[in-house]
Amino acid sequence: MVFELPPSASRAEVLRVRAGELRPAVTDWLAEEVPIAFEVNGLSHAIMLASPIDLEDYALGFALTEGLIDRVDDLLDIEVEPAEIGITLQLRVTLRCFMRMKERRRVLAGRTGCGLCGKDSLKEAVQAPKPLISSTGLDGSENLYLSKAALQKAQTELLARQSLQRQTGAVHAAAWCDGEGAVQWVREDVGRHNALDKVIGARASGLAEDEVSTAGFMLITSRASFEMVHKAVTARVPVLAAMSAPTALAVRMADQAGLTLLGFVRSGDMVVYTHAHRIDTGCEHHGAGKDSTWT
C-alpha cells in the first residue's frame, strides 16, 4: 500500500467561549505532529515527533547537528517513506560516518544502566562543540556586527512569514537572517529543536561550499535551551537570538563556545548574555566586555 504524506494541519469542529458566552461551533485548524523515524544506512537511529513538512531539510539539519555527518557531502541520499502511523527518513551516509555511528552505538550499549550513566556519559552529554573561533584565525563570525534595527527587521519578517503558526497557533519557527536582518530561510515545526534543525538543513543545502556561512544570525521564537545552543554552535552560527529566555546551562555553553546569545528579542529590546562584541546595542556603555549582561 502506498501512503501519502499527512497534512501539516487538520480541520476540527470546536466550541469557543468568549467573555463568558458560548459561541456556535466553528471550524478550526490543528497542527499535526507525526512520529518521524530516522534510519541511517538501514539502521534505526531515533524517533522524533515533528511537523510533516520540509522533511529533507529536517534530515540534513538533524544529521549535521547530531554529529551523524560532518558536512553536507557526507549525506549521500534521503528517502522520505510515509507509512500508516508515521514517516521514515532513510538517510544514506558515507561509510566513514556510518562506521563511526556504529562504534558509538556499540560503546553506549556496553555501558550499564540507561547508556547515559557514569561520568564519561554525562561529560559527553553536556560537552561543548568546537568553538566558533579557531586557533588558526577567524572563521567569518567576527565579520558580523548586528544593529538593533537588523534584529527588529528580522523579527518582523519572521512573524510575517509564520503561515502555519497563524493557521494553528501551535508551532515554533526558526529563521536564518543576513547581517542586515533580511530573513533568508524560515522553517516551522511543533518542536523548537525540529524547527532549528530544519532551517539549519535549508541553509546548509542552499550554500555553496566556498561561501562564508557565518555572516548572519539565527532567530528563534522559543526559549534558548542547552540543546538549541549546541545545535547553533555545531552549525557554525555566530549569533543565536531568542524571543524568549535562555537557560543557565545554555548561557554557560554559549560563553564557552564563543556564541553571542540574545534573549527576549522583542520590538527592538533584547538581553545580551554572552559575547556582546557582535551587537551594536545603541547604548552609551556599549563595549563593557563579553561577559556583560545588558538589557
Question: Residue 135's CB: how many other CB atoms inside 10 A?
Answer: 5
The number of residues in the chain equals 295
Calculate the CA 212 to chain-centre distance. Answer: 19
* Residue 234 near residue 64 (C-beta atoms within 8 A): yes
Q: Does 114 participate in catalysis according to the annotation? A: yes
Coil, helix or strand at residue 105: helix
Annotated catalytic residue: which of 114, 117, 177, 283? 114
- Interatomic CA distance for residues 229 and 258, integer angstroms: 11
Using only C-alpha atoms, the chain has a radius of gyration, in whole angstroms, of: 20
Residue 257: how many CA atoms within 13 Å on its side-chain side? 29
Find residue 88's DSSP bridge partners. 37, 81
Q: Which residues are known to be catalytic?
A: 114
